[in-house]
Amino acid sequence: MTYSRGAIVSLLIHTLLGAANVYQQSAMNVLQEFIMPFANQSFYDHYGVALTANGYSWLWSSLQSVQSVGIMISVFLFAPLMDNFGRRNTVMIFSSGIMLAGLIFQILAKSSNSFEMFGSGQFLCGVSQGSYRVLYQYFAESLPSEQRGRATLLYSFAMIVWTKLGIILAFPFFFGSEEQWPLYFAPGVLPCVLYVISAYFVPESPKYLYLHKKKVKEANEAIRYYYGKDADVASVLLNYDGEIFDESDKNKSTISLSTLLTNPIYRYALEVCLIANVGVHIQCSGALLMYSNGIMLQLGLSANEALTILLGSVIYVAAVSMFTAMIGVNRFGRVTLMNASNIMVAAAALLLGLQFALKSVVVMSHSMTFYFALTWGFFLLTSAGISAHSICILLIGEISPTIAAGKIVQLCTIASNGTSLLVNFTFPPLLEAFGSSLLFMYAGLAVACTILFRVGVPETKGKSVVEVIESKFRKTEPVFV
């Protein structure tokens, strides 16, 4: 498999600069011991209320989960933008500007003694991070079918690297101190600025140009950029035309919600995408990753031990992610990898639940506590390396006709991030209330999702949107125009 020079340049720009918007995602986890005392004191100074242990827990989860709120809200912003202004401009210009504002808020929060400003920064960064769904749609529309899975997961790999860089910079010899933690957010500023500038050098999605904007010349140029100078442009455009399943939609840039729900093709694409996206986010993998440092501290590990485990995972997660991107996604397929991730989440939740159960009845040695954390962390990080959340978003671009993609991205984001928000926001207080029982329940849920994915999600590896749709409807009455 060979990439055109344009595809390589585009991928480098998106991975080196675009993926940087997740850099500060781990802040509330790795800098908890510094951010939370500031937030607690700021809350008291502003409202004159001393928080109880339970109130402190809710403040922590609120500042953490407000990012998920931002991601969910982003769909109301980015879905219309991607249909009206293009995939590239939405991701590289609008999203980067919002991220830049969020980072500045977080940098200035401590000097302003405002936990509200910090929370606002978390929210804005969450809004910006929500644009990665648009980027995956951009990849699915711009690259040849045999390259899109690898490109998407290479971007996911870059996100992991940026996230782990955030963990490294949280150590005391960088920004992990009472005085320096606001500067933790500064390294994310430069990539935002460079990403906006680099948008000039990357063409828009050729499918968007052709089907949405009817700009045939620009679409031809974009196809040659992403596919190579010798690309069979006529064949690619013919494939694009095949996505027009209803002649009444031919001159539209998007469709109405009622059309999405009544047209059997569009509705099928929506149903599959909802199953995959909600199924991945209803599990506790995101919450475990988000609160892993705090959980380790709660179990008796020191802050440095917890950070060491997280830092030690960098090479392993990167290796799993790289294997998934370069080999796994094309060899094993999307559904198999999503189910492998489910099994890893189930194992992590089961082992952590067992650790909580043992801790309540026996005194565990420090070494046993450490090795338990290392073991469930191994399974959790394997799941993170597989990047099921990226695969399920890629499915939207591989199953959805372009005219319906904006609406499907919007609905899937609302559903999946609403689910994720509920899980992440309630996880700390529910874990405190129910302990191991909550974790055992989540382990069973991950197994149930494995069965659901096997039954309800088609394999899309190496297939065009038309091929996926036809494989579903070929034995039914014709629905194509």
Whole-number Å distance between alpha carbons of 456 and 166: 37
C-beta of residue 459 within 8 angstroms of C-beta of residue 394: no
CATH 1.10.3720.10 fits 5-473, yes or no: no
Q: What is the pLDDT of residue 2?
A: 67
How many Cβ atoms sit within 10 Å of the Cβ of residue 260? 21
State how far the Cα of 348 lies from the Cα of 288, in Å rounded to an integer. Answer: 9
CA distances from 445 to 127, 358, 378 (A): 28, 22, 20
Q: Is the dihedral of CA 430, 431, 433, 438 positive or negative?
A: positive
- Let me know: does 143 contact 121? Beta carbons within 8 Å: no
Per-residue pLDDT of the chain (481 residues; tens, 9 = 90+): 567 888 888 888 988 888 888 887 767 677 888 888 999 999 999 999 888 888 888 888 888 888 878 887 887 888 888 888 889 989 888 888 999 999 999 999 999 999 999 999 999 998 998 888 888 889 988 988 878 888 888 888 888 788 878 777 877 778 878 888 888 888 889 999 999 898 888 999 999 999 888 899 999 999 999 998 888 999 999 888 888 777 776 767 778 889 899 999 999 999 999 999 999 999 988 888 878 877 887 788 877 777 677 667 777 888 888 888 888 888 899 999 999 999 999 999 999 999 989 888 888 888 888 888 889 888 998 998 898 988 998 899 889 988 888 889 889 988 987 898 889 888 888 988 898 999 999 999 999 999 999 999 999 888 888 888 888 886 444 444 4
Triad 282, 279, 31: Cα angle to 5°: 40
Task: Give the integer Cα–Cα distance in Å for 225 and 217.
Answer: 13
Cβ atoms of 169 and 26 closer than 8 Å: no
Burial-class residue 45 by CB neighbours within 10 Å (0-12, 13-18, 19+). Answer: exposed
- In whole angstroms, what separates CA 10 from the centre of its chain? 20
Q: What is the reported pLDDT for 158?
A: 86
* Dihedral, CA of residue 89, residue 19, residue 338 and residue 429, to nearest 10: -110
Residues contacting residue 205 through CB under 8 Å, at least 6 positions apart: 86, 87, 88, 137, 138, 141, 142, 222
Q: Is the full-model pTM beyond 0.75?
A: yes
Question: What single DSSP character describes residue 212?
Answer: I
What pLDDT is stored for residue 233 in this prediction?
Answer: 93
Residue 480 has a pLDDT of 45
Tell me the C-alpha distance between 152 and 155, whole Å: 5
Which is nearest to 189 in space by CA: 249, 117, 107?
107
Sequence ranges of the domains in the chain: 5-473
| Cβ neighbourhood burial of 18 (10 Å; 0-12, 13-18, 19+) | buried
Which of 98, 89, 107 minimizes the C-alpha distance to 127?
98
Nearest Cα residue to 372 out of 299, 311, 308: 299
pLDDT of residue 1: 53
